[in-house]
């Protein structure tokens, strides 16, 4: 008979470390249904009948944020057999706030006081037994990092779950409040199960609308309760929800007085000392710039680029591919099968996998930033700037990582608490040129602009501008409005990140990406190969020889849709198909052009084909092409990551559709207005381009519709 135990606690309390320690590799990571929040489940090591559910890190069970709502709904509706409440031993006061709320749910609970190693080092002391007595639960003092007492915790939690009792919360508030709560219980709740009465009483006292609706109280009853509440509010000179919050903290303060010996207040902790420099008014920005540059340099420029090249050129190009083609030829394998395996699967899959080393490095950095506590400082420093265009300070990291590869960048967006901000970041991150787009930039820059550096600079600038503009525009649409989550953020203590945690998290993320994306990538590679190497010769459908690409299926498709891109200046099948091939991997655009112009293999910047390109494009149409490739739909690996983060086909389609529209519109505007400004005639398309520009400017500068949100704010004020 399986048992379910929920793991709940504040963010930064070491919950991830604990969950990893309790479940080892027996974890499953997914999403809560319909939302972008991660859900983790696992089997407790040593107790195969116990399923652990990791709830999102929350500060309270009020339903401000999506995470709190999910946690609360889960605890109230799915009825886990027990709760493991993890609290940070070095930060008990605020951590226990959630504990008082969890206790009111009546679910058997075990308190895991974490970071005991740090508590000991600081000289503070905690009387675990006394703490447990105050709340009526068992306490296990652990260090998730050092894995001390973990087995003990597992044992006690399992026992508590197996007992299947309900438990009555022990904490009490001050006289006046208890009186009011008692009265509410008597008058309205005597029919409810005993262990739930306290929870309902408190919620009714706080005037929680959801609970009032759930209990369907008569108007008379409500009025009666309201009197009690008013009286209390007068006595305490405060509003009822504020009274309860204060009472909880008062109770906690009393308990901690008896149960802990604390270090002196007001002393600067090591973290505070570090922050004196790191978030110092003058030093913060330079230090921040240096750190971000370091991340970029190591992961994208040096290690990333080197390893990508090595994987592509050495590993695949010189070792794997020749060996396999050689072997296939030796075995006399049929020509088409050789083609499928080598040109189709290996080439397609290879171009994606070659980015794996860079992804790994980026994930490692991400883990380092998260687990050390520096991520919060990034948000603290960048918030003011990012708020202006509808993003969060935490959106900075995904953008930075996106300059290497969008896949880890999108996964990095997970740390953003507010769902609107998170969605927005996921949608716009791919505008930043990733490593795979660099060969395309190099190709256009080399062929048309003398290889000058400012083209690359322009590409990054374009990406950033697209992010900013999208943020502002989307924020004004109903899809992304709704009450902004307040920026009230904890700055957790700096901690030496556990290498084990970083590696485990990185491994989790990379392997989940490979698992999820490889099927799609494989399929796409096969399809692309098929449509490129098969076509009609002299009326017969057959596999093509090299040089016959104009007769392939893909050329036919390209010809069929080329007209769509005529207004952009490149309505011919070659660039259209090349752009389409970018869906597999953006750098494939270069090799596609190579194939179209008769070169089986091209250098990274595509030098061999520059003259062919110059014959086919003008600098303006080449720019328009580049813009389209840079801004429109990303590669399928990224699309698959977006799908996974958004957890919704609708949102994923919106993201892709939005990006492609932006790419198309900007390329159109540049080409049409550029042609006109260069002395061309004013055509219908010029007019359309101007209209588009006007539309974009209007969307950008119109006043943000505020009326709706003020009303929502007032309504939300009454809810819990």
How many residues touch other proteins under the rule CB under 8 A: the total is: 48
Residue closest to 673 by CA, chosen among 664, 654, 660, 686:
686
Q: Does 488 bind other proteins (CB under 8 A)?
A: yes
Minimum gap (Å) between residue 251 Cβ and other proteins:
12
Q: Is 274 in the site for other proteins (CB under 8 A)?
A: no
Let me know if 224 is exposed, middle or buried by CB neighbors in 10 A (0-12, 13-18, 19+): middle
Q: Which stretch binds other proteins (CB under 8 A): 90-98, 132-140, 165-173, 175-183?
A: 90-98
Q: How far is the CB of 406 from other proteins (least distance, A)?
A: 27
- Between 251 and 316, whose beta carbon lies closer to other proteins? 251
We find the least distance from the C-beta atom of residue 278 to other proteins, in angstroms, to be: 10
264 touches other proteins by CB under 8 A = no
Judged by CB under 8 A, the residue of 242, 318, 519, 661 near other proteins is: 242
∠ CA 63-69-73, rounded to 5°: 120
Tokens of 638: 């990224």
Question: Considering the rule CB under 8 A, would residue 266 count as an interface residue with other proteins?
Answer: yes
CB 483, min distance to other proteins, A: 5
Q: Which helix (H) or strand (E) is 553 found in, with range?
A: helix 553-561
491 near other proteins (CB under 8 A): yes
Q: Rounded to 10 degrees, what is the CA torsion of 359, 360, 366, 367?
A: 160
State the minimum distance, in angstroms, from the CB of residue 441 to other proteins: 31
C-alpha R_g of the chain? 30
Give the contact letters, 432-471, x = binds to other proteins (CB under 8 A), - = no. ----------------------------------------
In this structure, the strands spanning 3-9 and 27-31 are: unpaired
Residue 126 or residue 510: which is nearer to other proteins going by CB?
126
Find the length of the chain.
Answer: 720
Sign of CA dihedral 426, 431, 432, 434: positive
Instruction: Out of 274, 485, 553, 699, point to the residue binding other proteins (CB under 8 A).
Output: 485
* Closer of 269 and 306 to other proteins (Cβ): 269
Question: Is there binding between residue 93 and other proteins (CB under 8 A)?
Answer: yes
Which residue of 34, 175, 332, 486 would you call a contact of other proteins, by CB under 8 A?
486
CA distance 386 to 409: 17
When asked if residue 384 is in the footprint of other proteins (CB under 8 A), the reply is yes
In this structure, the number of other CB atoms found within 10 A of the CB of residue 693 comes to 16
Q: Is 392 in the site for other proteins (CB under 8 A)?
A: no
User: What's the burial of 52, exposed, middle or buried (CB within 10 Å: 0-12/13-18/19+)?
Assistant: buried
The answer to whether 393 touches 289, Cβ cutoff 8 Å, is: no
Q: How far apart are CA 81 and CA 62, in angstroms?
A: 22
The nearer residue to other proteins, 265 or 650, going by C-beta atoms, is 265
Return the number of the residue (271 or 301) whose C-beta is nearest other proteins.
271
- Rounded to a whole number, what is the distance in angstroms from the first to the last CA of the chain? 36
281 is a contact residue toward other proteins (CB under 8 A): yes
When binding is defined by CB under 8 A, the residue of 337, 385, 700, 711 that contacts other proteins is 385
Residue numbers 666-705 binding other proteins by CB under 8 A: none
Cβ atoms < 10 Å from Cβ of 173: 20
Q: Which ranges of 569-706 would DSSP assign to H, the alpha helix?
A: 573-581, 588-596, 610-616, 619-631, 636-646, 649-677, 684-701
Q: In the stretch 332-371, what mask flags binding to other proteins with x, by CB under 8 A?
A: ----------------------------------------
Residues interacting with other proteins, by CB under 8 A? Answer: 59-60, 62, 64, 91-94, 97, 238, 241-242, 245-246, 249, 262, 265-266, 271-272, 275, 279-282, 284-285, 376, 380-385, 483, 485-492, 713-714, 716-717, 720
């Amino acid at each position: 008979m399986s048992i379910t135990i929920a793991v709940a606690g504040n963010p930064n309390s070491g919950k991830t470390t604990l969950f990893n320690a309790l479940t080892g590799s027996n974890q499953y990571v997914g999403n809560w249904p319909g939302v972008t929040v991660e859900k983790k489940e696992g089997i407790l090591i040593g107790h195969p009948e116990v399923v652990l559910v990791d709830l999102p890190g929350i500060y309270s069970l009020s339903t401000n944020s999506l995470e709190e709502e999910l946690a609360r709904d889960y605890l109230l509706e799915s009825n886990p057999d027990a709760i493991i409440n993890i609290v940070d031993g070095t930060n008990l006061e605020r951590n226990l706030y959630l504990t008082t709320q969890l206790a009111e749910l009546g679910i058997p609970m075990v308190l895991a006081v974490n970071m005991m190693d740090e508590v000991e080092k600081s000289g503070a002391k905690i009387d675990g037994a006394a703490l447990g007595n105050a709340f009526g639960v068992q306490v296990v003092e652990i260090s998730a990092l050092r894995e001390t007492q973990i087995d003990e915790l597992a044992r006690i939690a399992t026992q508590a779950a197996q007992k299947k009792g309900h438990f009555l919360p022990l904490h009490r508030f001050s006289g006046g409040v208890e009186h009011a709560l008692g009265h509410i219980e008597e008058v309205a709740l005597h029919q409810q199960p005993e262990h739930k009465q306290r929870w309902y009483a408190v919620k009714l006292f706080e005037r929680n609308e959801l609970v009032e609706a759930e209990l369907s109280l008569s108007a008379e009853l409500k009025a009666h309760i309201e009197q009690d509440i008013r009286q209390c509010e007068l006595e305490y000179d405060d509003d009822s929800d504020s009274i309860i919050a204060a009472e909880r903290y008062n109770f906690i303060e009393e308990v901690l007085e008896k149960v802990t010996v604390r270090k002196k207040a007001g002393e600067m902790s090591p973290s505070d000392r570090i922050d004196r420099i790191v978030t110092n008014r003058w030093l913060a920005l330079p230090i921040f710039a240096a750190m971000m540059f370091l991340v970029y340099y190591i992961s994208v420029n040096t290690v990333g680029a080197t390893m990508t090249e090595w994987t592509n050129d050495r590993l695949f190009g010189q070792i794997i591919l020749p060996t396999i083609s050689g072997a296939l030829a030796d075995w006399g394998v049929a020509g088409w099968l050789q083609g499928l395996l080598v040109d189709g699967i290996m080439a397609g899959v290879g171009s994606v996998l070659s980015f794996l080393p860079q992804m790994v490095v980026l994930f490692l950095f991400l883990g380092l930033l998260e687990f050390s506590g520096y991520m919060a400082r990034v948000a603290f420093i960048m918030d003011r700037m990012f708020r202006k265009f509808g993003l969060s300070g935490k959106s900075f990291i995904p953008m930075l990582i996106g300059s290497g590869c969008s896949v880890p960048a999108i996964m990095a967006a997970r740390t953003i608490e507010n769902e609107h901000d998170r969605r927005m970041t996921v949608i716009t991150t791919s505008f930043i040129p990733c490593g795979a787009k660099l060969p395309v930039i190099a190709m256009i820059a080399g062929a048309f602009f003398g290889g000058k550096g400012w083209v690359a600079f322009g590409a990054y600038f374009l990406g950033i501008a697209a992010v900013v503009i999208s943020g502002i525009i989307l924020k004004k649409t109903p899809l992304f409005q709704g009450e902004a989550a307040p920026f009230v953020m904890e700055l957790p203590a700096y901690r030496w990140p556990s290498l084990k945690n970083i590696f485990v998290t990185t491994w989790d993320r990379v392997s989940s990406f490979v698992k999820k994306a490889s099927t799609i990538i494989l399929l796409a590679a096969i399809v692309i190969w098929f449509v490129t190497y098969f076509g009609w010769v002299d009326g017969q459908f057959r596999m093509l020889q090299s040089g016959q690409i104009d007769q392939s299926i893909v050329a036919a498709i390209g010809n069929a849709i080329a007209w769509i891109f005529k207004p952009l200046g490149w309505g011919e099948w070659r660039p259209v198909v090349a752009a389409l091939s970018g869906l597999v991997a953006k750098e494939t655009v270069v090799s596609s052009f190579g194939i179209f112009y008769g070169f089986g293999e091209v250098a990274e910047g595509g030098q061999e084909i520059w003259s062919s390109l110059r014959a086919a494009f003008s600098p303006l149409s080449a720019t328009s092409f580049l813009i389209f490739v840079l801004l429109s739909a990303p590669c399928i690996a990224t699309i698959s990551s977006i799908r996974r983060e958004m957890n919704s086909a609708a949102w994923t389609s919106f993201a892709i559709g939005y990006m492609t529209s932006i790419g198309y519109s900007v390329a159109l505007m540049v080409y049409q207005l550029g042609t006109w400004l260069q002395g061309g005639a004013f055509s219908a398309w010029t007019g359309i381009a101007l209209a588009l520009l006007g539309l974009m400017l209007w969307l950008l500068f119109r006043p943000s519709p505020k009326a709706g949100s003020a009303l929502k704010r007032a309504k939300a004020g009454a809810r819990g």
